[in-house]
Structure 1
Amino acid sequence: MDLMQIRPAPEGAYAQADGVTYHYIELGEGSATIFLHGGGPGCTAWSDFGQVAPLFARDRRVLLVDILQYGRSEKTVIKGPMWDFHAAKTVALMDELGVDRADFVCNSWGGTIALNLAARYPDRVRSLVITGSQPVWHGPLAPLPERGHRGRKARDRYFGGTGPSWEKMRELIAALEWYDPDAVPDATVTMRYEQSIDPEEIALAGASDDPRGDWQDLSGVLGDIQAPALFIWGMHDAFLTPDYPLMLARMLPKGNLHVMDRASHHLQEERPADYYSIVTGFLNQER
């Protein structure tokens, strides 16, 4: 299997959870493992984790969840604190799918959801694997790049001007998500671009009021997380350099950090075999 080339996404299924509709893809059997993707334009659970999901599904029940407002999940407008909203709805989805407790493997946006969920619903989380997430707005050595707004600015540029295009999507992924811009697969660009031009996704991106809810800084709750957590980071992450996840790991009672060379923000796509090896080793530790 060529892990660098993502295959077409399986059809998946839908579930109602506390008044909203989620789309998810389920693979394999075993310990429940929930994958939550990043917040870039056109991101879905499959676009972010499709390369590595079959590896984890060899001995795990893999649940690849499209976060609300992304993919084929409901494009609901969020009111109030955003991470509290996502955490509560994700727990409702777990109830609907019969998952009492799960490991969470997450990229960027999804990782902040999982960290908040672990703080507020500790009995539902066995362990956490987090890549490229920004749960707090301060950095240990200096202000965050562009005051932590680099992702939002990139999203505005992508949807603004002449609007989304395949070329703009490739430029975004190459500049911000992959270490080697020449290695970005065309199939990944196409998948992300085609999702980004979904009319509902474009409508959310262009809304005059922020439909994502009120931003939250999680500094006050990270110390409450009792689940073991692995922050696995790209040495060349375009948003947050490795001193940032080191700070996060120290804020959690059971925080760990692995920094991967030759990788940026989506190391699970750039180096899927190495990512799987490191992550599955952590997940398989006895708790």
Structure 2
Amino acid sequence: MADQGTETAARMLADPPQGQYADADGVRYHYLDLGAGDPTVFLHGGGPGCTAWTDFGPVAPLFARDRRCYLVDILQYGRSEKCVISGPMWDFHAAKTVALLNTLGVARADFVCNSWGGTIALALAAHYPERVRSLVVTGSMPVFHGPLAPLPEGGRRGRAARDAYFGGEGPTPAKMRELMAQLEWYDPAAIPEHTVALRYQQSVDAEEMALAGASDSPRGEWQELSAELGRIQAPVLFAWGMYDAFLTPDYPLMLARMVPRGQLYVMDRAGHHVQEERPHDYYQLVSGFLRQNHD
């Protein structure tokens, strides 16, 4: 059962706010700019059709009450540029995200991230520590091993799901709902139809379909961050769903020990997209962490 307010948040998803574009070191980003206060960058996950709004729309208005929220479509997703990435993938994304901060005039920010976006932010925090005040990571896989057992499907569950979604007869709304139900949400009955529709519509964008057809080759070299985690100076909250289908809670506990200032919170009745399933609880947890670590 989803927490109170989820239905209202789902209705809001049907009418995304107007976005903006910014050039950053040769690439173009699309982002939403909401609220006022401490700059906070939201980076979304890497599932088919994911954007900053689909992943963080339910919680963005809550954070925007007292924060300047930059909801960024990461490169190759949403309305951001579908550029081909060469070299180590997380290093590439981290450098371009810093270039985006430069364009926006943001010297230092908090980062709130899901899955793919969280790994980008961890790489950024390791390589550009002066740009990160604090970091919240949910459902990300920066290292390729678990503390007790191999990762599900060798850490390739997400790529296998993407291949299945775009394969066969191609994307359909039913396949999108099935993907979200199996891998992203704890309670499939609570998945908003608005989110399914937005994700499906974005997934059939011509450029996104072309990237999917090319498998991983345009995404850069797959990169492991074990060595980088120990260099992160900022406090990091790993906010995890108890029933994350990709990485069970023993994995973020390992990450919290690898990061010098790491801590872990595991939320019940939640899967891979905690911020969508439990938006108010997620907001309370994350906003408290960000206030605690404000310097």
TM-score, shorter chain, exceeding 0.5: yes
Please state whether the residue corresponding to 1:69 is helix, strand or coil.
Answer: coil
SS in structure 2 of the partner of residue 230 of structure 1: strand
Q: Secondary structure at the match of 2:219?
A: coil
Alignment-derived partner of residue 255 in structure 1: 262
Following the alignment from structure 1 to structure 2, what is the Cα–Cα distance between the partners of residues 280 and 90? 22
Deviation at 1:95, TM superposition (A): 0.2
- For the pair 1:8 / 2:11, whether they are aligned, the reply is no
Contact 1:69 1:75 in 2 (8 A): yes
1:273 is paired with a residue whose SS is helix
Aligned to 2:96: 89
Task: State the alpha-carbon separation in 2 of the partners of residues 30 and 165 from structure 1.
Answer: 40
Give the C-alpha shift of residue 3 in structure 1: 2.8
Maintained 8 Å contact 1:3/1:273? no
Map Cα deviations across residues 169-209 of structure 1 (whole Å, 9 max, x no partner).
00000110000011111110000000000000000000166
TM-score (norm 1): 0.99
2:113 to 99, 106, 114: 106
Whole-angstrom distance in 1 between the partners of 2:264 and 2:216: 37
Amino acid at match of 1:3: A
SS in 2 for 1:220: helix
Query: Equivalent of 1:53, from 42, 60, 66?
Result: 60
Secondary structure at the aligned position of 1:147 is classed as helix
Structure 1 residue 7 displacement after superposition: 3.6
**Whole-angstrom distance in 2 between the partners of 1:194 and 1:129:** 28
What CA distance in whole angstroms lies between the structure 2 residues aligned with 1:262 and 1:17?
Answer: 39
Q: How many residues align?
A: 287
Work out which of the residue numbers 210, 221, 227 in structure 1 matches 2:228: 221
| Partner of residue 249 from structure 2, selected from 242, 259, 266 | 242
d(CA) in 2 for partners of 1:179 and 1:4? 16
What SS does the aligned partner of 1:3 have? helix
Structure 1 residue 11 displacement after superposition: 1.9
Cα distance in 2, alignment partners of residues 8 and 90 from structure 1: 26
What secondary structure sits across from 1:64 in the alignment?
strand
Contact preservation (8 Å) 2:236, 2:263: yes
Gaps of 5+ in 2: none
Distance 1:204 1:253 in 2: 36
Pairwise CA RMSD of aligned residues? 0.9
Q: Deviations over 1:203-230 (max 9, x none)?
A: 0000166100001100011000010000
Q: Deviations over 1:47-84 (max 9, x none)?
A: 00001000000000000000000000000000010000
Post-superposition CA distance 1:82-103 (Å, at most 9, x none): 0000000000000000000000
Aligned equivalents of 2:244, 2:216: Cα separation in 1: 30
Alignment CA distance shift 1:139-1:198 (3 Å): same
Q: What is the one-letter code of the residue matched to 2:200?
A: Y
Does 2:288 align with 1:281? yes
**Mapped pair 1:160 → 2:148:** no
CA distances 1:109-145 after superposition (whole Å, capped 9, x unpaired): 0000000000000000000000000000000010000
- Counterpart residue type for residue 212 of structure 1: R
Matches within 5 A, 1:131-146: 131-146=138-153
Cα distance in 1 between the residues matched to 2:255 and 2:215 = 33
Q: CA deviation at 1:8?
A: 1.8
Question: 3-state SS of the aligned residue for 2:226?
Answer: coil
For 1:226 and 1:83, the matched residues in 2 are separated by 18
The reply to whether residue 174 of structure 1 matches residue 215 of structure 2 is no
1:9 to partner: Cα distance: 1.2
Residue 237 (structure 2) aligned to one of 219, 223, 230: 230
The alpha carbon displacement at 1:280 in A equals 0.2
Q: TM-score, normalised by structure 2?
A: 0.96
Are the aligned partners of 1:174 and 1:180 in contact in 2 as well (CA < 8 Å)?
yes
The residue aligned with 2:48 is 41
How far did residue 4 of structure 1 move?
4.2
The equivalent position to 1:212 in structure 2, one of 210, 219, 223, is 219
Which residue does 1:148 correspond to in 2?
Answer: 155
